[in-house]
Amino acid sequence: MAPLSLDTINPKVLECEYAVRGEIVSIAQRLQEEIKAKPGSHPFDEILYCNIGNPQSLGQKPITFFREVLALCDHPAILDKSETQGLFSADAIERARKILNQIPGRATGAYSHSQGIKGLRDTIAAGIEARDGFPADPNDIFLTDGASPAVHMMMQLLIRSEKDGILCPIPQYPLYSASIALHGGTLVPYYLDEATGWGLEVSELKKQVEDAKSKGITVRALVVINPGNPTGQVLAEDNQQTIVEFCKQEGLVLLADEVYQENVYVPEKQFHSFKKVSRSMGYGEEDISLVSFQSVSKGYYGECGKRGGYMEVTGFSPEIREQIYKMASVNLCSNISGQILASLVMSPPKVGDESYESYSAEKNGILSSLARRAKTLEDGLNNLEGVTCNKAEGAMYLFPRIRLPEKAIKAAEAAKKAPDAFYCQRLLNATGVVVVPGSGFRQVPGTWHFRCTILPQEDKIPAIVSRLSEFHKSFMDEFRD
């Protein structure tokens, strides 16, 4: 008898799902192996991954300045070599020296303070202050291995039992449903309004809180993802103000997922942090408990594998802060490369620095290309029969709605699949394009969607649009009622 079976492991693990690396991706990886082993075995010669926000895996180059500083910090012996002056920019050398002086023992292979290296937190706090125009305290910052562990830490803190609920947007990023399930809480859904460009209505929040209360659930926190994932909308400042007001009135912790703050593609919108919004409303530490998540995986940097990020925790009592610090201590510390990158992201080269022009060119090149890719994909999707796609205002995704014929829905039921998963699997097998079914993110019952990233290199986007168009036409013809 094996010591473990599905009946004897933690049921919370069974309940937890993570769609962006789910069944469709496993099939894609198998197809990729088959193409490699036997070229010509499928009607396509490569797999086009549009399932996950992983820019460098799809050919995006790292920012030179960031990598120069990381290289020098990891191998400080070369700092004093004469050749280094010719290979590395002067400001990268200067920044690396400064960072090394902040690291105990000048060693990136050593543990740091559990909240992260103090000098790097100082730099991040200064970056937040410059962004928002309001003071930031380095002691409020906890450096983490990407934003995901920070989210888990907050769920661990907030959830006592299944009677504790967390308000989450639907559609949502599966990290939230997965972490709520793992920590034994209840996801309280609030639906974004697709008809108004994925708008967030406070009336919907109120309705869901009342509904949860009637079931004996205590709502502890509100998750807001801005810019939106998987939906790509950017919240207007007045909308953010009503959300802050709602959290204050209801006594909720506001969990602000702001990892896409650099990814805004429309001139009429801009990113405002929830901290800036709440401070500009006159609310301070004693008025609202707010956690903001940031990551080096997104933005224009796309350093997913470096696992860097932080949370800024404000409006909590010293006793609670102590408990958060204790949880951080259990993990010892986040990785040092990620910590360094988080500080660089919040304090990039400035006008007058040697790297400034090349850094600006790299950053603007990536962001303007992402904006063009988003527009090309959005237009391509809106040209498909029965498909509507809201504008990609920000983040890295489109979340089109597909109206499937009744025959396709019946065929999906017969295959024991959600209709959008059935569609996505057929798309993958026919074209090699990998997208994630909307059912993995949750959606209004009876509606079907898929999430598609805008990250494949710009020269591949037309191929994705044409493969998708060709497939969609034949799919609709096959299942036409």
Q: What is the tens place of the pLDDT at every residue in 73-92?
A: 988 888 888 887 778 889 99
Per residue in 441-462, pLDDT (tens digit) is 888 888 999 988 888 888 889 8
Per-residue pLDDT at 445: 85
**Single-letter amino acid code for the residue at 34:** E
Across 57-67, average pLDDT: 87
Across 283-296, average pLDDT: 92
Q: Which residue has the higher pLDDT, 222 or 13?
A: 222
Per-residue pLDDT at 472: 92
pTM of the model: 0.89
- Range with the poorest average pLDDT among 51-65, 290-304, 347-361, 363-377: 51-65
**Encoded tokens for 247:** 């959290």
Main-chain dihedrals φ then ψ at residue 332, nearest 5 degrees: 65, -75
DSSP letters for 179-242 = HHHHTT-EEEEEE-BGGGTSB--HHHHHHHHHHHHHTT-EEEEEEEESS-TTT-----HHHHHH
Per-residue pLDDT at 261: 94
- Range with the poorest average pLDDT among 16-30, 95-109, 150-164: 16-30
Run of H or E residues at 410: helix 406-414
Q: How many CA atoms lie within 13 A of 73 on its CB side?
A: 27
Residue 376 has pLDDT above 70, yes or no: yes
Extended beta strands in 347-431, E state:
387-388, 397-398, 401-402
- Range with the poorest average pLDDT among 21-30, 138-147, 371-380: 21-30
Per-residue pLDDT at 20: 54
**pLDDT band, residue 328 (cuts 50/70/90):** confident
Please state, for a pLDDT cut of 90, what percent of the chain lies above it: 45
How far apart (Å, rounded) are the C-alpha atoms in residues 209 and 56? Answer: 40
Per-residue pLDDT at 188: 93
Per residue in 404-445, pLDDT (tens digit) is 989 988 998 898 888 898 999 999 988 888 998 888 888 888
Per-residue pLDDT at 54: 78
How far apart (Å, rounded) are the C-alpha atoms in residues 100 and 127? Answer: 19
Residue 3 has pLDDT above 90, yes or no: no
**pLDDT band, residue 360 (cuts 50/70/90):** very high
Extended beta strands in 5-150, E state:
48-49, 141-144
Residue 169 has pLDDT above 60, yes or no: yes
Q: Which residue has the higher pLDDT, 304 or 139?
A: 139
Please state, for a pLDDT cut of 70, what percent of the chain lies above it: 98
- Range with the poorest average pLDDT among 17-21, 196-200, 390-394, 469-473: 17-21
Per residue in 175-232, pLDDT (tens digit) is 888 888 888 898 999 999 888 888 888 899 999 999 999 999 999 999 999 998 889 8
How far apart (Å, rounded) are the C-alpha atoms in residues 265 and 370? Answer: 8
Q: How many CA atoms lie within 13 A of 110 on its CB side?
A: 11
What does pLDDT average to over the chain? Answer: 88
Residue 246 has pLDDT above 90, yes or no: yes
Across 15-43, average pLDDT: 77
**pLDDT band, residue 43 (cuts 50/70/90):** confident
Q: Which of 9-23, 318-332, 350-364 has the highest mean pLDDT?
A: 350-364
Per-residue pLDDT at 21: 60
Residue 476 has pLDDT above 70, yes or no: yes
Residue 11 has pLDDT above 80, yes or no: no
**pLDDT band, residue 17 (cuts 50/70/90):** low
In the chain, % helix, strand, coil (3-state, to 5) comes to 50, 15, 35
